[in-house]
Amino acid sequence: MSWQVVPIERRHVAGFREVLDGVARERRYLAFLEAPPPARMRRFVLDGLRAGIPQFVAVDDARVVGWCDVVPKSHETLRHSGTLGMGVAASHRGIGVGTALLRATLEGAFARGLTRVELVVRADNEPAIALYRRHGFELEGRLRRYVVVDGVAHDALQMARLG
Ligand SMILES: CC(C)(COP(=O)(O)OP(=O)(O)OC[C@H]1O[C@@H](n2cnc3c(N)ncnc32)[C@H](O)[C@@H]1OP(=O)(O)O)[C@@H](O)C(=O)NCCC(=O)NCCS
């Protein structure tokens, strides 16, 4: 496999939606169970490009196989802070894609002047929690019964890294 991490561009929108949809449909990792409609995904990416938010994709032979972004908060008192989201296609996990995506996105977030990057991760998502810890995220709290999937409640962890 020969993949690389690049800043997202307009031409990646459909592929970004496809990989996100695949991960959402695994029903174990994300807050949504399928991707938002194409128009909403397109708006998200184009707004992000205009605002210059750190938003990267991993691309393997023109296929988008992962994403990572930090969306800055909009309230005046919270603008130093952003929320991180990421995922890697099941076919490309465990080979360093997530590490490369996270590194590039955090670098972009702190270069942009953010001083706090936060995220919420399901408490049973060990690979993701290990990855975040390795990149300096610390546990801030446990969100009890935060997610309900197929009638089953799961706790989540609030983590943050300060820059
Ligand atoms: C979490 C995720 C993004 C990690 O991406 P990845 O490309 O698989 O990660 P990497 O290959 O860069 O590996 C990162 C580290 O996790 C470890 N790891 C990978 N798979 C693992 C597993 N199944 N169990 C435990 N550790 C694992 C690797 O050993 C690596 O550690 P190292 O840096 O010491 O070598 C990916 O598993 C994923 O997309 N999961 C589903 C979506 C998701 O959980 N998103 C985050 C929601 S908050």
Q: Specify whether the CB–CB gap between 45 and 8 falls below 8 A.
A: yes
The tens digit of pLDDT for each residue in 57-74 reads: 999 999 999 999 999 999
Q: Which amino acid is at 79?
A: R
| Domains identified in the chain and CATH numbers | 3-118 (3.40.630.30)
For ligand 1, atom 42, the nearest C-alpha belongs to 87
Give, for 24, the enclosing helix (H) or strand (E). helix 13-24
Q: Per-residue pLDDT averaged across 10-21, rounded?
A: 98
Ligand 1 pocket list (CB less than 6 A) = 23, 29, 86-88, 93-99, 119, 121, 125-128, 130-131, 134
Indicate the pTM of the whole model: 0.96
- Report the SS3 class of residue 36: coil
The tens digit of pLDDT for each residue in 110-154 reads: 999 999 999 999 999 999 999 999 999 999 999 999 999 999 999
Burial of 145 (C-beta count, 10 Å sphere; 0-12/13-18/19+): exposed
Centre of ligand 1 from the C-alpha of residue 125, in Å: 9
Q: Are strands 116-122 and 55-60 parallel, antiparallel or unpaired?
A: unpaired
Q: Specify whether the CB–CB gap between 19 and 69 falls below 8 A.
A: no
What pLDDT sits at residue 1? Answer: 78
CA quadruple 78, 79, 81, 87: dihedral sign: positive
